[in-house]
Amino acid sequence: MIPLWTTPIDHEPIQNVTVPDWFPAAQHPDAPAGALLDWLCGQGSLTQRLTAAGPNDFRVELLWQGIQTGRSDELQAFGLASGEPLWVREVLLHTAGAPRVFARSVAPLQTLREARVDLNSLGTRSLGELLFSDPEIQRGPIQISRYPAAWLPARVRAEQLWARRSSFGRGGQSRLLVCEVFLTGWPPAGQPHAMETSPC
């Protein structure tokens, strides 16, 4: 069982990190092109898309889950003061034989108390699958940025990886912030784009 109050041990100290500079996907001054931008901007379920991209081997690897002081960009997104604690869940999403996406989901503790499901009991279930199965949950605009290597697990750490984040909630209120980082080698070179006329 993942301990609730333990700090992840393979993250570098937060003071050494430049916080991501999040932009709306369509407004980033140096956005990537091609298939990567298509994956960053995709509005559908990432779980479903990764599942379809592999030989039926999609799985969620739970790295850590618990309470942690929120990072400055996360707290700003919720309108919370510096130093406030957040519920945090970090996972690796595997498909096609390897981890392809690092995902970090955060929520205010009030969300944890009000949630209709026990978020702490998700285990290796996909949080995205849960979110997209509830028609009352609305997704906010997608933002993109390069992601600090120091915030990634050591075994998948790399510089200059692209990430996206968006909020989820009911009634226009942001209750959950999900950040997804596309790891080295994903999407594969030459992969066709999704059938979206304007992904951003």
Cite the annotated binding site for substrate by residue number: 89, 127, 180
Q: Which of 51, 55, 59, 52 is nearest to 94 (CA)?
A: 59
Q: Which residues contact 52 (CB under 8 A, 6 or more apart)?
A: none
CA–CA distance, 62 with 122 (Å, rounded to integer): 9
Q: Are 170 and 46 contacting, i.e. CB atoms less than 8 angstroms apart?
A: no
Let me know how many helices (H) and strands (E) the chain has, helices first.
5, 8
Which residue ranges make up the annotated binding site? 89, 127, 180
CA–CA distance, 175 with 108 (Å, rounded to integer): 7
Record the tokens describing residue 126, joined without a space: 């996909």
HSE value, Cβ hemisphere, 13 Å, CA-based, for 138: 7
HSE value, Cβ hemisphere, 13 Å, CA-based, for 188: 11
